[in-house]
Chain A
Amino acid sequence: MTAASPSKERTELSDDQVEKIGHATAHLHKLLKELGHTRNLEKSASTMPDARDRLSFIDKSMHEASEKTISAVEASIPLTGHTRTACSDLSMRLANTRFNEHGGLVEETISKLGEIAASEEAIRHNLMQIMEAQEFRDVAGQMVNKIVIAAAEIEVILLDILKEYAPNAKDSLISSEGLTAGPGLKTADSVNGQDEVDDLLASLGF
């Protein structure tokens, strides 16, 4: 190695490993081209503008869809409430009125009003689930950002290694932290779901 190379102590990579890194870099380059890159890999390593734009577009689309969904849910929930109130109000008034004719129809109406109210309750419950599901935006958005950052980092690292023909760069290869950290992807030290959070806290006496 020349004096310009990093001072970290390095171990030898086998020809096989060098070849694998070469293939990985070529593959990455191909992928980036498929994403719309026309510039060479070295330039894209510092900018990756198109891939970023596309990911930003995905992020923006998700955001708009979620916001639209939540607005529709927010507008709908009070409607289900009004319908339920109207149903029970009408049922009560019908039940307290004496009808000389059409007694059967009145009874049927009261019964149907009850069914409508029950349906409205189910709809309200489903609307809340639609609202809760929009949480995906938070975690998915953070993951998209991490992918952009990780892709750029990996690219730089691979390029550096290739430039040096990677004689002995084992210790600096792709940081797994950049790839796996964050929500959604569990590391070995992550809990799975709320029950495990509760268990962990309970075991600590909280």
Chain B
Amino acid sequence: MADPNMKFLVVDDFSTMRRIVRNLLKELGFTNVEEAEDGVDALTKLRAGNFQFVVSDWNMPNMTGIELLRNIRADAALKHLPVLMVTAEAKRENIIEAAQAGASGYVVKPFTAATLDEKLQKIFQTMNK
């Protein structure tokens, strides 16, 4: 079972969406959640502090989710962080691009707490191997 104190960063330019993801994570038992409104904001927060999990949207101003993912994978201090993409981008090329860039999971909107739970559990299993 994953540590309920695990620190999450939820990255989305839409405040409503951040709120929903935060609430769904809370429902799954994770209450240590912070938010960032785009990739640039996320990178700053990730570099400043001790996060264990990133849930990111794709389409955002300043820095998109895929650019954020590439930056995380290219940063020695952050590259081991699990990154779950939660996005409305449903094109195959997007999904393949994310997988090749090192995404830990991919969830298309609209999604439910059950889908989020399933993907998180799958990532936790991989992490514990």
Q: Which residues of A contact B (CB under 8 A)?
A: 63, 66-67, 70, 73-74, 128, 131-132, 134-139, 141-142, 182-184, 186-187, 189-194, 197, 200-201, 204, 206
Please give me the residue from chain A that is nearest to B57 by CB atom.
A138
Q: A74-B23, A138-B16 are in contact. Are A183 and B109 (CB under 8 A)?
A: yes
Tell me which residues across on chain A come within 8 A of B96, comparing CB atoms: 200, 204
B93 touches A201 (CB 8 A): no
The docked-state distance in angstroms from the alpha carbon of A74 to that of B20 is 10
Interface residues on B, range: 20 to 34
Q: Is the CB of B16 within 8 A of A70?
A: yes
Chain B residues near A (Cβ < 8 Å): 12, 14, 16-17, 19-20, 23-24, 27, 59, 88-93, 95-96, 99, 106-113, 115
Q: How far is the CA of A186 from the CA of B91 in the complex (A)?
A: 8
Contacts A66-B16, A136-B110 known; A190 to B91 CB distance under 8 Å? Answer: yes
Q: Give which listed residue, B12, B16, B20, B107, contacts A197 with CB less than 8 A.
A: B107
**Bound CA span A70–B26, Å:** 14
Give A134 to B89 CA distance when docked, in angstroms: 18
A131 touches B108 (CB 8 A): no
**Which residue of chain A has its CB nearest to the CB of B106?**
A197
Q: Is the interface of A mostly helix, strand, loop or mixed?
A: helix
Verify B108–A132 contact, CB threshold 8 A.
Answer: no
Partner of B14, one of A141, A182, A184: A141
Task: List residues of chain B with CB within 8 A of the CB of A135.
Answer: 17, 20, 109-111
The answer to whether B20 and A131 have CB atoms under 8 Å apart is: yes
